[in-house]
């Protein structure tokens, strides 16, 4: 499929941005991915208590911000219990390195604007949708308001993925033109069910084999093309070459430069 094959090798996605080198899911991490030459960035979308979509991986703010210092009495610091204004005050960079002090948890709107300005492409994950009823339609609304859905080529610059099959199915039903991916490793016999609403299957790298990748490639996905596989999280050269040789179409990595160099070699 597009971007795959012997000559070009797998597409390399910068997971949470270039998150080995800059704080994950910040504008700094996507800017760095761009500077390193990577078009595709992955992120995680959740929702604040007052209904703003924000880009953060964990369902609490503790690991990747200074929330414990700024709001010591708000344990366990759930994203969904804080307002957008409160989250905007947090430092999302210092935990990673002092040079990133002052980085913020981006709103999805700000994040989309930056990805677009950088002329990058987005693998958008709807994270823990069971915590955020209606987040699928809301994400599509924000994408629309940011101008992403008018784009003639939206299908080449956006993939929406989730570990929740229900969420992926809903996104497909709401916007049948979008490319979707299911995060997981369905058994071969179950793949045809996923092919009804997904174009791609994105498994953890330890769970796959060349045979399984062939089984996915043998199916036609939601848009009638052979289904593709993007695997995660591969940060070392040996594993990158191993999954490349299994025939994956994409590798989602914190260290895109390392993986690109590995898959370009022999």
Q: Which of 31, 44, 52, 91 binds Ca ion (CB under 5 A)?
A: 44
Q: Which of 42, 199, 228, 249 binds ligand G3P (CB under 6 A)?
A: 42
Burial class (CB in 10 A: 0-12, 13-18, 19+), 50: exposed
Nearest to ligand G3P of 88, 233 (CB atom):
233
**Residue 153 is among the residues annotated as catalytic for this protein:** no
**Residue 205 is among the residues annotated as catalytic for this protein:** no
232 binds ligand G3P (CB under 6 A): yes
Q: Which residue is nearest to Ca ion (CB)?
A: 125
Asked if 224 contacts 203 with a C-beta cutoff of 8 angstroms, the reply is no
Residue 97, SS3?
coil
Six-digit token string for 239: 């594993």
Q: Which stretch binds Ca ion (CB under 5 A): 44-52, 115-123, 150-158, 187-195?
A: 44-52
Q: Which of 125, 228, 235, 249 binds Ca ion (CB under 5 A)?
A: 125
Given ligand G3P, Ca ion, none, residue 22, with its beta carbon under 5 to 8 Å by kind, binds none
CB of 17 to ligand G3P, least distance (A): 11
Q: Which of 4, 27, 30, 44 binds ligand G3P (CB under 6 A)?
A: 44
58 binds ligand G3P (CB under 6 A): no
Cα 218 to Cα 227: distance, rounded to the nearest angstrom? 7
Nearest to Ca ion of 44, 52 (CB atom):
44
Q: In the structure, how many helices (H) and strands (E) does the chain have? A: 11, 9
Run of H or E including 44: strand 40-47
The 176-215 site mask, x for binding Ca ion (CB under 5 A), equals ----------------------------------------
Six-digit token string for 29: 């991490």
Cα 197 to Cα 212: distance, rounded to the nearest angstrom? 19
* Residue 176: cis peptide before it, omega within 30 degrees of 0: no
The active-site residue, picked from 57, 153, 217, 223, is: 57
The closest of 50, 49, 31 to 41, measured between CA atoms, is 31
Asked if 247 contacts 217 with a C-beta cutoff of 8 angstroms, the reply is yes
235 binds ligand G3P (CB under 6 A): no
Strands 121-126 vs 40-47: parallel, antiparallel or unpaired: parallel
Residue 243, SS3?
helix
Nearest to ligand G3P of 98, 206 (CB atom):
206
Which residues bind to Ca ion, rule: CB under 5 A?
44, 125
Q: Which active-site residues does the annotation give?
A: 15, 57
Q: Applying CB under 6 A, which residues contact ligand G3P?
A: 15, 42, 44, 57, 125, 183, 202, 232, 252
């Amino acid at each position: 499929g597009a971007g795959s094959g012997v000559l070009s090798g797998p597409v390399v996605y910068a997971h949470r941005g270039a998150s080995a080198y800059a704080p994950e899911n910040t504008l700094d991490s996507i800017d760095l991915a761009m500077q390193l030459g990577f078009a595709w960035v992955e992120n995680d979308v959740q929702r604040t208590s007052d209904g703003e979509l924000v880009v953060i991986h964990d369902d609490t703010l503790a690991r990747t911000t200074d929330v414990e210092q700024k709001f010591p009495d708000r344990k366990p610091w759930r994203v969904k219990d804080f307002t957008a204004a409160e989250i905007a005050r947090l430092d999302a960079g210092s935990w990673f390195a002092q040079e990133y002090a002052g980085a913020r948890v981006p709103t999805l709107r700000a994040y989309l604007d930056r990805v677009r300005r950088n002329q990058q492409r987005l693998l958008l994950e709807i994270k823990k949708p069971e915590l955020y009823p209606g987040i699928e339609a809301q994400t599509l609304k924000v994408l629309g308001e940011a101008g992403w859905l008018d784009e003639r080529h939206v299908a080449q610059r956006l993939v929406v993925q989730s570990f929740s099959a229900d969420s992926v199915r809903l996104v497909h039903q709401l916007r049948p033109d979008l490319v979707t991916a299911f995060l997981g490793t369905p058994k071969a016999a179950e793949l045809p069910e996923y092919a009804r609403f997904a174009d791609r299957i994105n498994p953890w790298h330890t769970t796959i084999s060349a045979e399984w990748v062939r089984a996915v490639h043998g199916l036609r996905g939601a848009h009638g093309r052979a289904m593709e596989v993007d695997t995660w999280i591969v940060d070392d050269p040996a594993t990158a070459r191993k999954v490349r040789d299994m025939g994956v179409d994409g590798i989602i990595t914190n260290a895109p430069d390392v993986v690109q160099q590995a898959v370009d070699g022999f």
